[in-house]
Structure 1
Amino acid sequence: MILDFISNKMVLSVLAVLLIIALYNNGIIGNKGKNDRLELEIKHVPIKEPVVEIKMAAGGKMVFELLPEYAPETVQNFVNLAHAGFYDGLTFHRIVEDFMIQGGDPKGNGTGRSYKTVKGEFAENGFEQNTLKHTKGVISMARDSHPDSASCQFFIVHGDEVPSLDGSYAAFGRLVAGEETLDRIAQTPVKNNPDMKEVSRPREPVIIEKITVYERSEY
Protein backbone atom coordinates (compact mmCIF):
# COMPACT_ATOMS: atom_id res chain seq x y z
CA MET A 1 0.00 0.00 0.00
CA ILE A 2 2.87 2.38 0.85
CA LEU A 3 4.54 1.50 -2.46
CA ASP A 4 1.28 2.21 -4.31
CA PHE A 5 1.06 5.59 -2.59
CA ILE A 6 4.65 6.47 -3.52
CA SER A 7 4.08 5.29 -7.09
CA ASN A 8 0.93 7.38 -7.48
CA LYS A 9 2.69 10.39 -5.98
CA MET A 10 5.55 10.04 -8.45
CA VAL A 11 3.13 9.82 -11.37
CA LEU A 12 1.36 12.98 -10.22
CA SER A 13 4.70 14.77 -9.83
CA VAL A 14 5.77 13.81 -13.34
CA LEU A 15 2.43 14.97 -14.75
CA ALA A 16 2.76 18.26 -12.90
CA VAL A 17 6.24 18.84 -14.32
CA LEU A 18 5.04 18.03 -17.84
CA LEU A 19 2.14 20.45 -17.44
CA ILE A 20 4.46 23.24 -16.30
CA ILE A 21 6.77 22.61 -19.28
CA ALA A 22 3.83 22.73 -21.67
CA LEU A 23 2.55 25.98 -20.19
CA TYR A 24 6.03 27.50 -20.34
CA ASN A 25 6.61 26.51 -23.94
CA ASN A 26 3.29 28.00 -24.97
CA GLY A 27 4.06 31.31 -23.31
CA ILE A 28 1.30 30.94 -20.72
CA ILE A 29 3.64 31.15 -17.74
CA GLY A 30 7.20 32.35 -17.32
CA ASN A 31 8.28 32.50 -20.93
CA LYS A 32 7.34 35.84 -22.48
CA GLY A 33 6.50 34.81 -26.02
CA LYS A 34 4.21 35.33 -28.95
CA ASN A 35 1.01 34.98 -26.94
CA ASP A 36 1.94 38.06 -24.89
CA ARG A 37 1.69 40.32 -27.93
CA LEU A 38 -2.05 40.62 -27.47
CA GLU A 39 -1.33 42.12 -24.05
CA LEU A 40 0.99 44.83 -25.35
CA GLU A 41 -0.12 48.39 -24.75
CA ILE A 42 -0.78 49.70 -28.25
CA LYS A 43 -0.74 53.48 -28.33
CA HIS A 44 -1.58 55.97 -31.05
CA VAL A 45 1.75 57.27 -32.35
CA PRO A 46 1.39 60.66 -34.07
CA ILE A 47 3.73 60.81 -37.04
CA LYS A 48 3.39 62.72 -40.31
CA GLU A 49 5.83 61.07 -42.71
CA PRO A 50 6.68 57.64 -41.30
CA VAL A 51 9.65 55.59 -42.37
CA VAL A 52 10.07 52.05 -41.04
CA GLU A 53 13.19 49.94 -40.91
CA ILE A 54 12.77 46.16 -40.85
CA LYS A 55 15.94 44.64 -39.41
CA MET A 56 16.41 40.92 -39.99
CA ALA A 57 17.96 38.59 -37.41
CA ALA A 58 20.12 36.96 -40.10
CA GLY A 59 21.46 40.33 -41.20
CA GLY A 60 20.30 42.97 -43.61
CA LYS A 61 17.46 45.44 -43.43
CA MET A 62 14.67 46.89 -45.54
CA VAL A 63 13.56 50.51 -45.31
CA PHE A 64 10.08 51.63 -46.37
CA GLU A 65 8.44 55.00 -46.70
CA LEU A 66 4.84 54.66 -45.58
CA LEU A 67 2.22 56.58 -47.53
CA PRO A 68 -0.79 57.70 -45.46
CA GLU A 69 -2.15 59.66 -48.42
CA TYR A 70 -3.10 56.29 -49.92
CA ALA A 71 -4.14 54.34 -46.80
CA PRO A 72 -4.16 56.46 -43.61
CA GLU A 73 -5.78 54.00 -41.20
CA THR A 74 -3.62 51.15 -42.48
CA VAL A 75 -0.44 53.18 -42.02
CA GLN A 76 -1.44 54.27 -38.52
CA ASN A 77 -2.24 50.71 -37.47
CA PHE A 78 1.13 49.45 -38.74
CA VAL A 79 3.02 52.30 -37.06
CA ASN A 80 1.25 51.70 -33.74
CA LEU A 81 2.04 47.97 -33.79
CA ALA A 82 5.65 48.47 -34.83
CA HIS A 83 6.23 51.16 -32.21
CA ALA A 84 4.89 48.83 -29.50
CA GLY A 85 7.32 46.06 -30.53
CA PHE A 86 4.55 43.79 -31.77
CA TYR A 87 6.55 42.57 -34.77
CA ASP A 88 9.89 42.06 -33.04
CA GLY A 89 10.87 38.38 -33.15
CA LEU A 90 8.10 37.36 -35.55
CA THR A 91 8.80 35.79 -38.94
CA PHE A 92 8.13 35.81 -42.63
CA HIS A 93 6.10 32.61 -42.64
CA ARG A 94 5.08 32.54 -46.31
CA ILE A 95 7.54 33.09 -49.16
CA VAL A 96 6.82 32.82 -52.87
CA GLU A 97 9.70 34.04 -55.02
CA ASP A 98 8.72 36.47 -57.80
CA PHE A 99 5.40 37.06 -56.02
CA MET A 100 5.67 38.17 -52.38
CA ILE A 101 6.94 37.49 -48.85
CA GLN A 102 4.38 37.55 -46.02
CA GLY A 103 4.99 38.05 -42.30
CA GLY A 104 3.87 39.66 -39.07
CA ASP A 105 1.74 36.77 -37.81
CA PRO A 106 2.06 36.12 -34.04
CA LYS A 107 1.08 32.48 -34.64
CA GLY A 108 3.47 32.06 -37.55
CA ASN A 109 1.05 30.06 -39.69
CA GLY A 110 -1.16 32.66 -41.37
CA THR A 111 -4.00 32.62 -38.82
CA GLY A 112 -2.78 35.10 -36.21
CA ARG A 113 -4.17 38.56 -35.51
CA SER A 114 -3.45 41.58 -33.35
CA TYR A 115 -5.88 43.28 -31.00
CA LYS A 116 -7.97 44.85 -33.78
CA THR A 117 -8.79 44.82 -37.48
CA VAL A 118 -8.79 47.80 -39.82
CA LYS A 119 -11.02 48.90 -42.66
CA GLY A 120 -9.83 47.63 -46.02
CA GLU A 121 -8.50 50.73 -47.74
CA PHE A 122 -8.65 49.58 -51.36
CA ALA A 123 -10.89 50.22 -54.38
CA GLU A 124 -12.94 47.01 -54.24
CA ASN A 125 -13.99 48.03 -50.73
CA GLY A 126 -15.12 51.49 -51.84
CA PHE A 127 -11.87 53.25 -50.93
CA GLU A 128 -10.98 54.88 -54.22
CA GLN A 129 -8.07 57.08 -53.08
CA ASN A 130 -5.69 54.12 -52.79
CA THR A 131 -4.23 53.92 -56.28
CA LEU A 132 -0.84 52.58 -55.19
CA LYS A 133 0.11 49.70 -57.49
CA HIS A 134 1.56 46.39 -56.30
CA THR A 135 5.00 46.62 -57.86
CA LYS A 136 8.27 45.26 -56.49
CA GLY A 137 8.98 46.53 -52.98
CA VAL A 138 5.47 47.74 -52.20
CA ILE A 139 4.26 46.76 -48.72
CA SER A 140 0.59 45.84 -48.35
CA MET A 141 -1.77 44.32 -45.79
CA ALA A 142 -2.70 40.65 -45.88
CA ARG A 143 -6.28 39.67 -45.06
CA ASP A 144 -8.76 36.84 -45.35
CA SER A 145 -11.87 36.86 -47.56
CA HIS A 146 -13.56 39.63 -45.55
CA PRO A 147 -12.53 43.06 -46.88
CA ASP A 148 -12.15 44.55 -43.38
CA SER A 149 -10.17 41.68 -41.84
CA ALA A 150 -6.63 43.08 -42.12
CA SER A 151 -4.97 43.16 -38.72
CA CYS A 152 -1.20 42.74 -38.38
CA GLN A 153 -0.03 40.50 -41.21
CA PHE A 154 1.60 42.23 -44.15
CA PHE A 155 3.33 41.26 -47.36
CA ILE A 156 6.04 42.75 -49.53
CA VAL A 157 5.76 42.36 -53.29
CA HIS A 158 8.73 40.61 -54.91
CA GLY A 159 7.44 40.34 -58.48
CA ASP A 160 8.04 43.32 -60.76
CA GLU A 161 4.30 43.84 -61.12
CA VAL A 162 1.34 41.94 -59.64
CA PRO A 163 -1.75 43.68 -61.07
CA SER A 164 -4.06 40.97 -59.72
CA LEU A 165 -3.53 42.49 -56.26
CA ASP A 166 -4.29 46.07 -57.27
CA GLY A 167 -7.55 47.34 -55.84
CA SER A 168 -7.99 44.22 -53.71
CA TYR A 169 -5.41 44.78 -50.96
CA ALA A 170 -4.38 47.87 -49.03
CA ALA A 171 -0.94 48.85 -50.30
CA PHE A 172 0.52 51.45 -47.93
CA GLY A 173 4.23 51.98 -48.57
CA ARG A 174 7.21 51.33 -50.80
CA LEU A 175 10.76 50.07 -50.40
CA VAL A 176 13.42 52.79 -50.53
CA ALA A 177 16.47 50.78 -49.40
CA GLY A 178 17.39 47.13 -48.94
CA GLU A 179 16.26 45.50 -52.17
CA GLU A 180 19.09 42.99 -51.81
CA THR A 181 17.61 41.90 -48.46
CA LEU A 182 14.18 41.47 -50.04
CA ASP A 183 15.73 39.36 -52.82
CA ARG A 184 17.64 37.22 -50.32
CA ILE A 185 14.52 36.53 -48.26
CA ALA A 186 12.52 35.71 -51.40
CA GLN A 187 15.15 33.11 -52.34
CA THR A 188 14.83 31.28 -49.00
CA PRO A 189 14.45 27.49 -49.46
CA VAL A 190 10.82 26.55 -48.88
CA LYS A 191 8.75 23.41 -48.42
CA ASN A 192 5.12 22.43 -48.82
CA ASN A 193 2.62 24.58 -46.95
CA PRO A 194 -0.50 22.42 -46.50
CA ASP A 195 -2.49 25.36 -45.09
CA MET A 196 -2.07 27.32 -48.32
CA LYS A 197 -1.75 24.30 -50.63
CA GLU A 198 1.47 25.68 -52.07
CA VAL A 199 5.23 25.39 -51.61
CA SER A 200 5.85 28.49 -49.50
CA ARG A 201 6.81 27.56 -45.93
CA PRO A 202 10.46 28.42 -45.11
CA ARG A 203 12.57 25.41 -44.18
CA GLU A 204 14.23 27.54 -41.50
CA PRO A 205 12.59 30.48 -39.68
CA VAL A 206 13.12 33.86 -41.33
CA ILE A 207 13.08 36.08 -38.26
CA ILE A 208 12.34 39.80 -38.01
CA GLU A 209 14.66 41.12 -35.32
CA LYS A 210 12.99 44.50 -35.02
CA ILE A 211 10.83 47.02 -36.83
CA THR A 212 11.66 50.63 -35.96
CA VAL A 213 9.56 53.68 -36.83
CA TYR A 214 11.11 57.04 -37.72
CA GLU A 215 9.92 60.43 -38.89
CA ARG A 216 11.26 60.85 -42.42
CA SER A 217 13.17 64.00 -41.45
CA GLU A 218 14.96 62.07 -38.68
CA TYR A 219 16.03 59.00 -40.66
Structure 2
Amino acid sequence: MNAQTYLKETNPVVTINVKDHGSIELQLFNEVAPNTVANFIEIAEKGLYKGSIFHRIIPGFMIQGGAVNQAVLPIKGDFIANGVNNPLLHTRGVISMARTNVKDSATSQFFIMHKDSPHLDGLYAAFGVVTNGIDVVDAIAKARRDAYDKPYEDIVIESVTVDLKGSLIPKTIRL
Protein backbone atom coordinates (compact mmCIF):
# COMPACT_ATOMS: atom_id res chain seq x y z
CA MET A 1 0.00 0.00 0.00
CA ASN A 2 0.97 3.59 -0.50
CA ALA A 3 2.32 5.47 2.54
CA GLN A 4 -0.45 8.08 2.27
CA THR A 5 -2.89 5.35 3.40
CA TYR A 6 -1.26 5.27 6.84
CA LEU A 7 -0.83 8.98 7.58
CA LYS A 8 -2.56 9.97 10.86
CA GLU A 9 -2.15 12.81 13.33
CA THR A 10 -1.64 10.22 16.08
CA ASN A 11 1.37 8.52 14.46
CA PRO A 12 4.75 9.10 16.13
CA VAL A 13 6.77 11.83 14.41
CA VAL A 14 10.56 11.84 14.26
CA THR A 15 12.74 14.68 13.10
CA ILE A 16 16.22 13.96 11.78
CA ASN A 17 18.35 17.11 11.99
CA VAL A 18 21.17 16.95 9.44
CA LYS A 19 24.14 19.30 9.83
CA ASP A 20 24.30 21.96 7.09
CA HIS A 21 21.27 20.44 5.32
CA GLY A 22 18.16 20.92 7.45
CA SER A 23 15.55 18.61 8.91
CA ILE A 24 13.70 15.55 7.68
CA GLU A 25 10.38 14.95 9.43
CA LEU A 26 8.76 11.52 9.21
CA GLN A 27 5.64 9.81 10.46
CA LEU A 28 6.25 6.26 11.68
CA PHE A 29 3.63 3.57 11.09
CA ASN A 30 3.34 1.37 14.17
CA GLU A 31 0.42 -0.49 12.58
CA VAL A 32 2.53 -1.89 9.72
CA ALA A 33 5.90 -2.50 11.42
CA PRO A 34 5.50 -2.34 15.22
CA ASN A 35 8.83 -3.87 16.23
CA THR A 36 10.75 -1.83 13.66
CA VAL A 37 9.10 1.41 14.87
CA ALA A 38 9.83 0.47 18.50
CA ASN A 39 13.46 -0.27 17.62
CA PHE A 40 13.97 3.01 15.74
CA ILE A 41 12.35 5.06 18.52
CA GLU A 42 14.38 3.29 21.23
CA ILE A 43 17.65 4.02 19.42
CA ALA A 44 16.63 7.64 18.75
CA GLU A 45 15.54 8.26 22.36
CA LYS A 46 18.87 6.90 23.63
CA GLY A 47 20.61 9.50 21.44
CA LEU A 48 22.58 6.85 19.56
CA TYR A 49 21.97 8.41 16.14
CA LYS A 50 23.63 11.67 17.24
CA GLY A 51 26.87 12.08 15.30
CA SER A 52 26.22 9.17 12.94
CA ILE A 53 26.37 9.85 9.21
CA PHE A 54 24.59 9.12 5.97
CA HIS A 55 27.31 6.74 4.78
CA ARG A 56 25.77 5.32 1.60
CA ILE A 57 24.08 7.44 -1.03
CA ILE A 58 22.76 6.26 -4.37
CA PRO A 59 20.89 8.98 -6.30
CA GLY A 60 17.70 7.70 -7.85
CA PHE A 61 17.54 4.97 -5.20
CA MET A 62 18.11 5.84 -1.52
CA ILE A 63 20.19 7.50 1.22
CA GLN A 64 21.38 5.25 4.06
CA GLY A 65 22.52 6.16 7.55
CA GLY A 66 22.27 5.25 11.20
CA ALA A 67 25.36 3.13 11.84
CA VAL A 68 25.84 3.80 15.55
CA ASN A 69 28.89 3.41 17.79
CA GLN A 70 27.22 0.99 20.18
CA ALA A 71 26.28 -2.65 19.73
CA VAL A 72 22.58 -3.08 18.98
CA LEU A 73 21.06 -6.56 18.96
CA PRO A 74 19.08 -7.38 15.81
CA ILE A 75 15.30 -7.53 15.55
CA LYS A 76 12.94 -9.74 13.57
CA GLY A 77 12.31 -8.02 10.27
CA ASP A 78 8.74 -6.71 9.84
CA PHE A 79 8.32 -7.60 6.14
CA ILE A 80 6.29 -10.03 4.04
CA ALA A 81 9.17 -12.34 3.02
CA ASN A 82 9.79 -12.81 6.76
CA GLY A 83 6.21 -13.80 7.54
CA VAL A 84 5.00 -10.36 8.67
CA ASN A 85 2.11 -8.65 6.86
CA ASN A 86 3.64 -5.28 5.97
CA PRO A 87 2.11 -3.96 2.72
CA LEU A 88 3.92 -0.59 2.79
CA LEU A 89 5.60 0.03 -0.57
CA HIS A 90 9.12 1.42 -1.04
CA THR A 91 8.06 4.65 -2.73
CA ARG A 92 9.80 8.02 -2.68
CA GLY A 93 10.17 9.27 0.91
CA VAL A 94 9.52 5.92 2.65
CA ILE A 95 11.94 4.95 5.45
CA SER A 96 12.97 1.32 5.77
CA MET A 97 15.44 -0.72 7.82
CA ALA A 98 18.73 -1.79 6.32
CA ARG A 99 19.90 -5.36 6.88
CA THR A 100 22.29 -7.96 5.55
CA ASN A 101 21.15 -10.94 3.48
CA VAL A 102 19.99 -12.47 6.78
CA LYS A 103 16.31 -11.59 7.20
CA ASP A 104 16.56 -10.94 10.95
CA SER A 105 19.70 -8.79 10.95
CA ALA A 106 18.32 -5.23 11.15
CA THR A 107 19.86 -3.19 13.98
CA SER A 108 20.15 0.60 13.73
CA GLN A 109 20.77 1.41 10.07
CA PHE A 110 17.94 2.78 7.98
CA PHE A 111 17.44 4.15 4.50
CA ILE A 112 15.11 6.72 2.99
CA MET A 113 13.90 6.17 -0.55
CA HIS A 114 15.03 8.85 -2.98
CA LYS A 115 12.90 7.28 -5.73
CA ASP A 116 10.36 4.45 -5.97
CA SER A 117 12.05 1.04 -5.67
CA PRO A 118 9.43 -1.72 -6.06
CA HIS A 119 12.12 -4.43 -6.10
CA LEU A 120 12.41 -3.91 -2.31
CA ASP A 121 8.69 -4.32 -1.58
CA GLY A 122 8.04 -7.15 0.84
CA LEU A 123 11.77 -7.78 1.32
CA TYR A 124 12.67 -4.96 3.73
CA ALA A 125 10.82 -3.45 6.69
CA ALA A 126 9.34 -0.17 5.48
CA PHE A 127 7.98 1.70 8.51
CA GLY A 128 7.20 5.35 7.79
CA VAL A 129 7.39 8.24 5.36
CA VAL A 130 8.86 11.72 5.03
CA THR A 131 6.19 14.35 5.66
CA ASN A 132 8.49 17.40 5.53
CA GLY A 133 12.02 17.77 4.23
CA ILE A 134 12.03 15.69 1.05
CA ASP A 135 14.14 18.55 -0.34
CA VAL A 136 16.78 17.63 2.27
CA VAL A 137 16.70 14.02 1.05
CA ASP A 138 17.17 15.34 -2.51
CA ALA A 139 20.11 17.53 -1.45
CA ILE A 140 21.80 14.62 0.35
CA ALA A 141 21.28 12.41 -2.72
CA LYS A 142 23.26 14.97 -4.77
CA ALA A 143 26.35 14.75 -2.54
CA ARG A 144 29.58 13.85 -4.29
CA ARG A 145 30.61 10.34 -3.37
CA ASP A 146 33.30 7.75 -3.97
CA ALA A 147 33.09 4.46 -5.88
CA TYR A 148 31.56 2.82 -2.76
CA ASP A 149 28.75 5.44 -2.62
CA LYS A 150 30.21 7.04 0.54
CA PRO A 151 30.06 10.85 0.48
CA TYR A 152 33.44 12.56 0.31
CA GLU A 153 32.30 14.90 3.08
CA ASP A 154 30.48 13.47 6.08
CA ILE A 155 26.75 14.19 6.18
CA VAL A 156 26.20 14.20 9.92
CA ILE A 157 23.00 13.47 11.82
CA GLU A 158 23.06 16.05 14.61
CA SER A 159 20.02 14.64 16.39
CA VAL A 160 16.87 12.60 16.03
CA THR A 161 13.92 13.76 18.11
CA VAL A 162 10.73 11.82 18.76
CA ASP A 163 7.18 13.03 19.38
CA LEU A 164 5.05 10.01 20.25
CA LYS A 165 1.81 11.98 19.71
CA GLY A 166 0.32 9.98 22.58
CA SER A 167 1.04 6.63 20.93
CA LEU A 168 1.98 3.74 23.16
CA ILE A 169 5.06 2.03 21.73
CA PRO A 170 5.78 -1.47 22.98
CA LYS A 171 9.24 -2.53 24.11
CA THR A 172 11.47 -3.64 21.24
CA ILE A 173 11.72 -7.40 20.85
CA ARG A 174 15.35 -8.27 20.09
CA LEU A 175 16.77 -11.59 18.96
CA deviation after TM superposition for structure 1 residue 57, in Å = 1.1
Q: Which has the higher helix share?
A: 1
Distance 1:114 1:164 in 2: 30
1:116 aligns to 2:73 (yes or no) = yes
Computing the radius of gyration from Cα coordinates, the structure with the larger value is 1
Identity %: 45
For 1:103 and 1:49, how far apart are their aligned partners in 2? Answer: 22
Specify the alignment match of 1:91 in structure 2. Answer: 53
Name 1:144's counterpart in structure 2: 100
What TM-score, normalized to structure 2? 0.86
Pick one of 173, 176, 190 that aligns with 2:131.
176
Q: Which residue in the other structure is 2:164 paired with?
A: 215
Q: What are the ranges of 5 or more consecutive residues in structure 1 without an aligned counterpart? A: 1-47, 108-112, 194-199
Equivalence map 1:150-169=2 (5 Å): 150-159=106-115, 161-169=116-124
> Which 4+ stretches in 1 moved above 3 angstroms?
none
What TM-score do you get using the length of structure 1 for normalisation?
Answer: 0.69
Distance, in Å, in 2 between the alignment partners of 1:114 and 1:64 is 25
Corresponding position of 2:4: none
Structural mapping, 1:16-35, within 5 Å? none
> 1:171 deviation in Å?
0.3
Q: 2: distance between equivalents of 1:76 and 1:49?
A: 12
- The residue number in structure 1 matching 2:87 is 131
> RMSD in angstroms over aligned alpha carbons?
1.3
> Is contact 2:52-2:67 (8 Å) kept?
yes
Number of aligned residues? 157
Structure 1 position 188, deviation (Å):
0.4
